Amino acid sequence: MIGDGAHIEFIAWAYIGVAVLTVALVAYVVWDSLRVDARLKALDKAGIRRRSDESKR
Amino acid sequence: MSVDTVKQPNWFSRLAHPGQFLAWSRYLIWPLAIATFVSFAIGLWFAFLNSPEDYQMGDMVRVMYVHVPNAWLSQLVYGVMAVSALGTLVWRHPLADVANKAAAPLGAVFTALALYTGALWGRPTWGTFWEWDGRMTSTLVLLLIYLGIIALWRAFDDQLKAGRIIAIVTLVGALNIPVIKFSVDWWNTLHQPASVFTASGPKMPGSILTPLLVMMLAFTLLFALLQVVRMRTEILRRRAATLSRQAALSAPSTGFAGPPPRGGGIGAAK
């Protein structure tokens, strides 16, 4: 169990920094993925799609 | 040529075809996400609630549970990129440069976190946030290499050409990995020598080793998850870029205006 002794601020800042940057990284990866999906959907809506996709329709 | 003489692609080649990769990798995402979440939950429970203080460092040992996994990943991710570079140059594998491009930002973040947590760990234990010794300096060089590779990917419009150039840069940069690994043996340093991956096994008690290994597993699963998602995104981005380019060239009256975005290569319409 973690105590409330010396250097607690260093431990806290280490975990806060890791949490913030990790969450930001995950958010960026998800946002980038959604952005590309939206672009492909916009192309599809405009009738621009791969020939192999057209043959499946 | 008769049908009998046509060489059939092996199972690995079929699985690694960009279209096939998109098809099967979608089933990995949720299991990886759940495994990552569970591993972090268990790892953090160990780290804060069920692991002892170190007899020398006290509670500061808990910083190790986030520092070592990020340091481990900073090198593992570069190893993945180096193998991808070989895949680009030697086997001309269609997913190799996608893997390289997907991994670079992830490696940069893990390396930055290793440096950040290392500095916070160093201040109370060594009396300084930073020292220009072999381990820390070579890890900073690794971060700069990651940033250089990310910048190179953004500098080229032709992603296939970029892939070959960056593969060479990646392999040259791989020379830094053994320097990081053995720096604590080669030079006098404040940094402690290897204590997990040693020939004689880990040099720490199970009560501290267990949370460390669980956190390493959690971060490694997180990398695997993000790498799969980023590779899928990159394949689709190149597919969108190729479609945009083809549409701009063949049917300007479709109403799809504007310059085509960057990308191209694999995932293109066939």
C-beta atoms of B70 and A18 within 8 A: yes
Mutation site, B30, B67, B226, interface A, largest A CB count within 10 A: B226
Q: A57 and chain B: CB distance < 8 Å anywhere?
A: no
C-beta atoms of B255 and A30 within 8 A: no
pLDDT at B259 over 60: no
C-beta atoms of A50 and B243 within 8 A: yes
Tokens of A14: 């280490």
Give the CA distances from residue B233 to residues A37, A39, B31, B236, in Å, rounded to whole numbers and listed in that order.
8, 11, 18, 5
From chain A, the residues in CB contact with B232 under 8 A are 33
pTM, entire model: 0.87
pLDDT grade, residue A40 (50/70/90)? very high
Q: A38 and chain B: CB distance < 8 Å anywhere?
A: no
To the nearest whole percent, how much of chain A has pLDDT over 90? 61
pLDDT grade, residue A5 (50/70/90)? low
Whole-number Å distance between alpha carbons of B213 and B38: 14
DSSP string, A1-57: ---S-TTHHHHHHHHHHHHHHHHHHHHHHHHHHHHHHHHHHHHHHTT---HHHHHH-
In chain A, the N- to C-terminal Cα span, in Å, equals 59
Three-state DSSP state, B52: coil
User: Among positive and negative, which fits the CA dihedral B123, B223, B109, B77?
Assistant: positive
* pLDDT 10s digits, B34-77: 999 999 999 999 999 988 888 778 888 999 999 999 999 999 99
From chain B, the residues in CB contact with A2 under 8 A are 48-49, 59, 62
CB B142 within 8 A of CB B172: no
Kindly identify which residue of chain A lies nearest to residue B223, measuring between CA atoms. A26
* pLDDT 10s digits, B227-256: 999 999 999 999 999 898 888 887 655 555
